């Protein structure tokens, strides 16, 4: 690992520790005020736990693991789920204070069907537009730069990902990454910065910018050369930050999830190997 990557990993580690404990302290101190949002936190924590567990069941023969390893996996999943719970709970509170949308509200008992379709289109159309742009941009970027997976990522995938072995575990893995990253970065960190640094309203772009930089840094050492991944991720982070600001967290999760699943599938269909499959993990 070169010195630049080491610096990025250090920034990533320090930022991760800082935000985890910052959210934990806020969640603990304001637990009574945050009670209306606890159910959402439990929901996202439960969803993440279930998705990660499913990914493990699809990819690993648990019978071949020792009891200690199984216990370690369960503890890791519980920690991830707890983190997701507190980031969701505090993040929703922040978004409410900022008066930013979390989702498109509808009430089928009081509106006509066409009103609901119009409301749904306000979420779906920009979500699909952002997804399509990110996919097209990534394909063009990789076409001209021809990047390869870094050695650290090769260890994660022991064999080439081809049409034959693109599995359900891969599919769930990509969705887990999208779900957890959007809750952590867009709902959590982005709104934390807006609240505590007073980057509200016309200055919210600063929160989007810094969050996108942090999100880009976590993708260090996934591609060679490194700058290609940064060139891919940073503008996508800006778009997802804007998408959250305008349309809420569900739109971000959908766009990120679709991107994570479609990019590998497109490349697999074209008979590429894992060397050229680069996803937004």
Query: Can you list the residues of the chain whose pLDDT is less than 70?
Result: 1, 102-117, 152-167, 267-281
155's tokens: 């260890």
Alpha helices, H only, 182-223: 190-196, 204-217
**Does the residue 81 lie in any domain?**
yes
255 is a domain residue: yes
Q: What's the confidence (pLDDT) of residue 101?
A: 73
Let me know the angle formed at the C-alpha of 232 by 176 and 209, rounded to the nearest 5 degrees: 85
Q: Evaluate whether 190 touches 211 at the Cβ level (below 8 Å).
A: yes
Q: What is residue 261's three-state secondary structure?
A: helix
Structure confidence at residue 197 (pLDDT): 97
Return the sign of the alpha-carbon dihedral for residues 93, 97, 99, 105.
positive
Q: What is the pLDDT, as a whole number, of residue 230?
A: 93
> Which H or E element spans position 223?
strand 223-224
- Domain total for the chain? 1
Determine contact, residues 106/253, Cβ cutoff 8 Å: no
Question: Do the domain assignments include residue 281?
Answer: no
**CB of 177 within 8 A of CB of 280?**
yes
Q: What is the pLDDT of residue 136?
A: 94
pLDDT at 222: 82
**Does residue 61 sit within a domain?**
yes
Q: What is the pLDDT of residue 143?
A: 87
Is there a domain that residue 196 lies in? yes
Q: Where are the alpha helices (DSSP H) in 146-166?
A: 151-156
pLDDT digits (tens, 9 = 90+) for 229-245: 999 999 999 999 999 99
Q: Nearest-CA neighbor of 185 among 265, 235, 253?
A: 253
pLDDT tens digits, residue range 162-181? 444 456 777 888 899 999 99
Containing structural domain, residue 196: 3-276
Specify the pLDDT at position 243.
96
pLDDT of residue 37: 95
Whole-model pTM over 0.85: yes
């Amino acid at each position: 690992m070169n010195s630049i990557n080491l610096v990025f990993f250090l920034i990533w580690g320090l930022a991760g520790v800082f935000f985890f404990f910052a959210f934990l302290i806020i969640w603990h101190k304001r637990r009574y005020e945050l009670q209306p949002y606890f159910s959402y936190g439990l929901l996202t924590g439960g969803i993440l736990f279930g998705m990660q567990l499913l990914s493990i069941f699809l990819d690993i023969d648990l019978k071949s693991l020792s009891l200690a390893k199984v216990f370690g996996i369960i503890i890791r999943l519980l920690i991830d789920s707890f983190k997701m719970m507190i980031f969701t709970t505090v993040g929703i509170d922040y978004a409410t204070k900022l008066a930013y949308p979390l989702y498109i509200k509808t009430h089928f008992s009081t509106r006509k069907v066409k009103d609901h379709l119009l409301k749904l289109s306000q979420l779906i159309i920009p979500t699909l537009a952002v997804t399509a742009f990110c996919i097209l941009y990534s394909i063009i970027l990789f076409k001209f730069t021809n990047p390869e997976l870094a050695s650290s990522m090769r260890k994660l995938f022991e064999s080439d990902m081809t049409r034959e072995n693109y599995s359900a575990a891969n599919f769930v893995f990509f969705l887990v990454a999208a779900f957890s990253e959007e809750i952590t970065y867009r709902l959590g960190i982005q709104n934390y910065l807006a609240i505590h640094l007073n980057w509200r309203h016309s200055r919210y772009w600063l929160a989007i910018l810094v969050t996108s930089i942090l999100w880009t840094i976590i993708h260090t050492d996934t591609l060679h050369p490194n700058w290609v991944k940064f060139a891919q991720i940073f503008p996508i982070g800006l778009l997802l930050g804007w998408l959250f600001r305008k349309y809420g967290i569900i739109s971000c999760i959908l766009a990120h999830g679709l991107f994570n699943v479609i990019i590998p599938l497109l490349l697999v269909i074209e008979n590429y190997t894992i060397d050229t499959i680069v996803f937004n993990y």
